[in-house]
Structure 1
Amino acid sequence: MEVTRQNFKDTLKTVCSAVEEADFLAIDGEFSGISDGPNVSALTNGLDTPEQRYAKLKKHSMDFLLFQFGLCTFKYDQEKSKYIIKPFNFYVFPKPFNRTSPDLKFICQSSSIDFLASQGFDFNKVFCNGIPYLNQDEEVQLREQSEERRNQQANGVGTPSFISPSSKGPAHVPEEHKDFINRVIGKVEALLTNSEKTLDLEPCTGFQRKLIYQTLNWKFSKGLHVETVETEKKERYIQVIKVDDEERKRREQQKREREQEELNDAVGFSRVIHAISKSGKLVVGHNMLLDVMHTIHQFYCPLPEDLQDFKEVTMCVFPRLLDTKLMASTQPFKEMITNTSLAELEKQVKEAPFKSPQVETAEGFHSYDTAQEQLHEAGYDAYITGLCFISMANYLGSFLTPPKAYISAHSKVVEPFFNKLFLMRIIDIPYLNLTGPDLQPKRDHVLFVTFPKEWKTSDLYQLFSAFGNIQVSWLDDTSAFVSLSQTDQVQIGDLIQAAMLVVFLRQERTRRGDREQDLGGLAEDRVSAAWPPSVVPLP
């Protein structure tokens, strides 16, 4: 089901009902970018700690926008022995509620936008019809402002929407506005004596509207309802209506209800996240760390600086998470699944020893066909993420005694995968543990290497060729981590320094074209001024 600003209010009840009755939920997000730098490895160094990876993603990725959110609910039907699914595809875009509400800036990464456009992504639906949202802090602030205005109006201090006898004296009107206010008073007096019921004043500035409210509040003790109206062109003017006490109270009540409805509309898509959070249901995603970070950042609260604080916030919002990429990368699936990208995983878990899950789309919902891939539509990706989870979970049932063909989302068999989020391209820490300490592998076989800017990966392999297999994790143009295959090889740092000197001198010799020059002479000539490389064990 496609959901935009036009049908969000009518659909929200259906969404909340689907969440509440589901056995588990699958989510996916599409973003305006992934990183803000040309060197993606700066975000995915193979020897990052979980703290470093979180800090990098928070710094470089949160200025992008999650503008399409996919949600697919899965409910198992015992009689049919199949899952009933309800997929939703939300278009999301921040729209300022009023002049005091946040007016967000965000970054678009050209490569991401170009890729989504090539997949047929409809950006008009995002920018023109995206569902607005507020995080919890913004919602509280707006509700407090609304309550404060109401209290001021009740005490005759603010700009009331009706005329009451509470004002203690005339408003101070600057000299340059006196003619304008006198003309308004004349029009209102005429309204009170003629048969007309409504008077629409001309559009004016906010300050002039404030003077009108204050003056009418003082001069006319009762019998009028005054409120600001906005035209389609965003012009604001004041409307004055003749009312009796009963009508005035009714209109004031309607205005309060309208304000609350507008505030609820401003909270917008965040209400879906609130419903998911309140349900406590298992939320399944694929490689979902960024999805979780963006969802919390945009719809719940700003991300905390500290990783442990992030874990605690995440567990408050999503008490149970499961990452299918981590699941597919872990035993017993690791040896059977050769490619853990979502599209390839969905294909592999259709084949033996796995079985495709039996699913049925609920009436009134769009039915997806995996034979006609709709990858990078968030609703479709959420759908196939759920299918992958079901296939892998059911496979685990084959290890039980007796074997079970169906494993529910509540089964203890899948609990070992709960609340662990896959960490991309980290050599020895496969996941972020949200409910406990992260893995702390020994890294005494890792060296920090600095070298000239001209060096390439092949130079590093040549440098360490005598020490077996190595793994290189670039940091920048002049440094990298090098992981040796044997821990005890780190103790030969002096020999490595000598090897680096040889490689450097060979490069200098080739560069100068002086193949007969003695290495020692070249060292005297150049090394003292141009020798930056160093090798040290990782602390």
Structure 2
Amino acid sequence: MYKQKNVVLNHWLPPFPMVRRGRFLCSETSKFFNQKQTPTHRPIKQVTKSNFSDSLSQLKTQISGSDFVAVSLQKTGSYSSPWHRILPFDTAEIAYLKAKYAAERFQILQFAVCPFSIRADANHYKLIAHPFNFHLFPRDELKLGMPCYSFSCQPSYIASMAKEDFDFNVCIYDGISYLSRAQETAAKHLTGNPVSSNYAVQPSTTRSVADNVFVERIKSRVRNWISACKRSDMRSEDALVSSLRRLILGGEEYGSRPSLNIDVCSERQVQLVFEMVKSHYSNVVPLAITSKGGGTQFVRVVLTSSQEDRELLKKELRNMEEEQSRRLCGFREVIDFISASQKPIVAHNLLNVFHADFTFIHSKFLYPLPPTMDEFTSSLHSAFPDILDVNHLMKEISPLTKYSSLPAATSYLKRNFFAPIKMVIPQKGSMEESKNHGHGVVRISELFAKLCFILRILPQAEYHNPDGPSLKRYTNVFSPDSNNFQDSDEADDISIWTNNPMKISINNLVFLWGFRSGTSAGKLKNLLSKSHNLLSEDHAFDVRLVDNSCAVIVFWKDGLSEWFLDAIDSGDGLRELAAEGMMAAGYDTYKRICESEILGVDLADSLAEFDRISEAHTKEPQEVYWNSDLMINFDDL
């Protein structure tokens, strides 16, 4: 009945009959498939800068009422050169470093979000989805040099987006800008915004004489200013007298309320002003005004007319701060709300390092990417505690095949399994919106629901089913072959070929460059076999081209790689290869190139440049000739 006869499903058997090649197993199944299938109109809410505020409030409501949140990205690229891709022989750490390199150079132009819930009905699953597609552009709206000045584009990605009728004008002119959390913190120091009365007042300490003098002087000044404000309210004054009074007292208007600016020289004086105002004047609200360079420039005290007016002022200040923060973070408010909701994130190939889109999310919206993968996973987990990759659920029913695209995974399920899913999208939209981008996130939600149906997983609001199969086992899986990279005991064992489980130590790999352009892997292997008796043995080594300039040699015998490196470096035993200009390096050199981010267009150029730099650093320093006759004796001066 099944193609995958070697897959043991036992208790994973689906609760309803399965279908294979159109042969139905019961009348109910036949009824379901014989129904007329019409194209489903799936409106995707297209969000730009003009409708961002309204859409944001709708999205927050939908996330709060949903059980999961699916995400999907549209980027300007993922690599600049063939060898920049995540290759089969890359360790987890190198794969992360390459993903980091790409995330720091390319941009996200679309971010699709789909809050959804799944309910189990009588004989099918019901999927309730609310898809949104956000158009983004990293515009420096605040003229602060953030989020960036430039980014890279991969031609194949841009061409693919153009074929899908991607509207670049909408993206550039009406795309939503954003700042990461780290950039927002830096921007607040540069823009100099009031910090209202939420200034952190430290516990009172013993005051010095200078502190007491300063406090008494400020107290007297504030008292006289309040008295003058009350006297001016009791009798009418002409404009000239009122202006002179404000000039002498140093008062200003904060909106419709009187205010007074108090100069301070240190954060200690800011502390003293706040303590004095809060302890002696209940109708005065102190505000710390920061300078563009950071730190407090002065303290502004605002006089209110009543307790109600005081609460109204505080509310106005909170709204002003929220509006300023919203203006700074832009689209990142969506990311912050998803993170705060603690809802499980559902994605496709986002945690697999071969498609590490979460490095983009971390780099653009959270903080700069850390240097190691352990730090990255820890930081990512703090923002998104539960992440589900549908690709790992696919491994449960098809362990021997990797589905790098959603259509391939969906097609496989459609051919081999019966998974009736009823999709409901409550929001309405025009026919034009249904043609736009963002459908990937809907497909992810649908694929996730089908996999849950096949694997007999009942996704509830509590996220796991204690009496049956649990989604927890598929959460935060960072590799298709293991539960976590950092948990692997064989960190130095890597694959050589895609879809081949065979492992080999990184010490048995050698990178070779300097051969003639256009040389195939077969010709290069034949040339190496004839160069020495040790290499002429059957199955002694294998060769694969990394790019047009460099090849990787796999030695099947331990110790042969070390001999090869020494021989080609000294020319002893491999003189013909050395004479032709061929050079070789071990895996450690390749690793250090990725760590140093010297990622040139060709791997050969990067290896040669790294060797040149290493030689320059290892050269012995030049001798210094010391002449005691030229030494100056300060006692003789």
Q: Is 1:98 the counterpart of 2:153 in the alignment?
A: no
Match in the other structure for 2:580: 530
How much identity, in percent, do the aligned residues show? Answer: 21
Deviation at 1:70, TM superposition (A): 0.7
Deviation at 1:440, TM superposition (A): 2.5
Match in the other structure for 1:384: 443
Structure 1 segment 147-162 matched on structure 2, within 5 A: 149=194
**Shift in alpha-carbon separation, 1:292–1:471, aligned structure 2, 3 A:** farther
Match in the other structure for 2:109: 67
Distance 2:54 2:317 in 1: 21
Distance 1:7 1:438 in 2: 50
Deviation at 1:384, TM superposition (A): 0.7
TM-score with structure 2 setting the length: 0.56
Match in the other structure for 2:595: none
Match in the other structure for 2:52: 8
**Shift in alpha-carbon separation, 1:536–1:143, aligned structure 2, 3 A:** closer
Distance 2:149 2:420 in 1: 43
- Structure 2 residue ranges without an equivalent (≥5): 1-44, 200-213, 215-222, 226-237, 257-302, 494-503, 530-535, 590-637
**Shift in alpha-carbon separation, 1:46–1:434, aligned structure 2, 3 A:** closer
The code of the aligned residue for 2:444 comes to: T
**Shift in alpha-carbon separation, 1:140–1:98, aligned structure 2, 3 A:** same
**Shift in alpha-carbon separation, 1:260–1:219, aligned structure 2, 3 A:** farther
Match in the other structure for 1:458: 522
The code of the aligned residue for 2:99 comes to: L
CA contact under 8 A between 1:311 and 1:434: conserved in structure 2? Answer: no
Distance 1:531 1:100 in 2: 50
Match in the other structure for 1:19: 63
Match in the other structure for 2:96: 54
Q: Is 1:480 the counterpart of 2:551 in the alignment?
A: yes
SS of the aligned residue for 2:50 comes to coil
Which residue of 348, 359, 379 maps to 1:313?
Answer: 379
SS of the aligned residue for 2:397 comes to coil
Match in the other structure for 1:359: 423
Match in the other structure for 2:408: 344
**What's the CA shift string for 1:293-337, capped at 9, x where partnerless?**
111111111111121110100101111112223443x343134x5
How well do the aligned residues superpose, as a CA RMSD in angstroms? 4.7
Structure 1 segment 191-340 matched on structure 2, within 5 A: 192=239, 218=247, 254=316, 257-289=319-351, 290-328=356-394, 330-335=395-400, 339-340=403-404
**Shift in alpha-carbon separation, 1:151–1:407, aligned structure 2, 3 A:** closer
Q: Is 1:33 the counterpart of 2:81 in the alignment?
A: no
Between stretches 43-52 and 93-102, larger displacement belongs to 93-102
Distance 1:490 1:388 in 2: 45
**What's the CA shift string for 1:276-296, capped at 9, x where partnerless?**
112222212112143211111
Q: Is 1:77 the counterpart of 2:119 in the alignment?
A: yes
**What's the CA shift string for 1:60-97, capped at 9, x where partnerless?**
33221112101112212345840111111011223435
Distance 2:546 2:182 in 1: 37
Distance 1:352 1:528 in 2: 55
- Structure 1 residue ranges without an equivalent (≥5): 156-163, 167-190, 194-213, 228-243, 398-403, 424-429, 501-519
TM-score with structure 1 setting the length: 0.65
Deviation at 1:356, TM superposition (A): 4.4
CA contact under 8 A between 1:50 and 1:438: conserved in structure 2? Answer: no
Q: Is 1:126 the counterpart of 2:171 in the alignment?
A: yes
Deviation at 1:141, TM superposition (A): 3.8
SS of the aligned residue for 2:115 comes to strand
**What's the CA shift string for 1:360-416, capped at 9, x where partnerless?**
1123367999xx997xx3x2111111222222232222xxxxxx7x55552444333
**Shift in alpha-carbon separation, 1:414–1:477, aligned structure 2, 3 A:** same
**What's the CA shift string for 1:120-144, capped at 9, x where partnerless?**
1112222222222222223334445
**What's the CA shift string for 1:252-288, capped at 9, x where partnerless?**
9757734531322322211111121122222121121
**Shift in alpha-carbon separation, 1:437–1:453, aligned structure 2, 3 A:** same
**What's the CA shift string for 1:192-232, capped at 9, x where partnerless?**
47xxxxxxxxxxxxxxxxxxxx99974796685689xxxxx
Structure 1 segment 502-517 matched on structure 2, within 5 A: none
Deviation at 1:352, TM superposition (A): 2.4
**What's the CA shift string for 1:36-61, capped at 9, x where partnerless?**
x3x22233232111111111221233
**Shift in alpha-carbon separation, 1:470–1:349, aligned structure 2, 3 A:** farther
Distance 1:308 1:494 in 2: 30
SS of the aligned residue for 2:442 comes to helix
CA contact under 8 A between 2:513 and 2:583: conserved in structure 1? Answer: yes
SS of the aligned residue for 1:349 comes to helix
CA contact under 8 A between 1:493 and 1:535: conserved in structure 2? Answer: no
